[in-house]
Amino acid sequence: MRWGLLSAAAVLLLLGPLAGNSSAATSPPPAPGYVPGLASIGGGAVTSSVDIFYQQVNRQLIVVRGAAKTNLGGVLASGPAGVAQSPTEFVEETVYARGTDRAVWYRSYSDGLGEWLPWAKLGGQALGAPSATCVGARNAPQLVYVRGLNSGLWRTSGGGSWTSLGGVLASDPWAVPAVNGACTSRQDIFALGGDRAVWEWVGGTWRRVGGVSTVAPAAVRLASGQTDLFVRGTDAALWMSTRVAGGSTWSAFHRVGGVLTSPPAATIFPVSPPTRAVFGLGADGNLWRGTNVVGNSAWTWTQVP
């Protein structure tokens, strides 16, 4: 993998005795209120799938891959963010989270070894959960975004230095994600402003989208170029707005339904026909998935095992 590793002693500063992989068949429930993370895997000979990450009540990280759960350890101070790329026959997958030192930490999956590498420190200083994506070619550097201690948007590329992108955020940021192992076409970041509306950072400029929420939004881009935006409304239900490919205006928000007790996370299931998928914690504290086949109006909600 392209990321360097810290020494074992440095890793243990964050992880303590809980480091390492273990079975999570009887894992504790998700920690209330924290956004889940997603990594959409696929491309070429790679079987398409979506890995789901979440923080448990004991602050450790769980990944759900198919029907299997794996404990990735750590001591998280935020929800996680995942990203996967398929530049070759191997998958490059990384999960990021804020540590107790406010810095961003990560674990990468070695497809060649078939295992998760140790935790390592990316740095920065964040108020909450990071967001991660890649832009352009499948082998493009991974981009990580955080709401910094000054409430502005900050970015690092490929593990380099952190750059301020400005703004005053009232939520964690959400970057339009890579889907099916392929990077998105452009940097497109969403967050709440001080007016509790959704704002979009694209091309170095902040634009007001609208809506009302109290937690970070989520967004995805379809293969057609359409962008879908999701928020948890003031009624705790999921709401959605769309922008057609090449357009500059957004549709009015319409109510999808459900009950969310965390920020939403969104992706496109790499299947045919394409299917939207939004994840979040439900009223019962469990992780739920809402799915919608593009072109249909009906949504189906199922609990993630």
pLDDT tens digits along 27-53: 799 999 999 999 999 877 778 899 999
What is the predicted pLDDT for the residue at 272?
82
The two three-digit tokens of residue 171, written as one number: 């939520």
User: What average pLDDT does the segment 76-96 reach?
Assistant: 94
Does residue 243 carry a pLDDT above 80? yes
Instruction: Look at 44-48, 103-107, 207-211 and tell me which has the smallest mean pLDDT.
Output: 44-48
Closest by alpha carbon to 274, among 290, 250, 296?
A: 296
Q: How far is the CA of 107 from the CAs of 58, 67, 81, 102, 121, in angstroms?
A: 18, 21, 11, 16, 9
Q: Which residue has the higher pLDDT, 89 or 256?
A: 256
The two three-digit tokens of residue 83, written as one number: 């990203």
What is the predicted pLDDT for the residue at 4?
26
Could you give all domains of the chain from N- to C-terminal order, each with its CATH number?
Answer: 8-217 (2.120.10.70)
What is the predicted pLDDT for the residue at 12?
26
**Confidence bin at 123 (pLDDT 50/70/90):** very high
What is the predicted pLDDT for the residue at 112?
84
Rounded to an integer, what distance in angstroms lies between the CA atom of residue 226 and that of residue 34? 27
User: What average pLDDT does the segment 254-274 reach?
Assistant: 93
User: What average pLDDT does the segment 206-228 reach?
Assistant: 97
What is the predicted pLDDT for the residue at 43?
76
**Confidence bin at 172 (pLDDT 50/70/90):** very high
Q: Which residue has the higher pLDDT, 21 or 278?
A: 278
Q: How far is the CA of 213 from the CAs of 130, 145, 280, in angstroms?
A: 19, 20, 15
What is the predicted pLDDT for the residue at 18?
31
Closest by alpha carbon to 200, among 227, 162, 240, 181?
A: 227
pLDDT tens digits along 2-24: 222 222 233 222 333 233 444 44
Q: What percent of the chain has pLDDT over 70?
A: 91
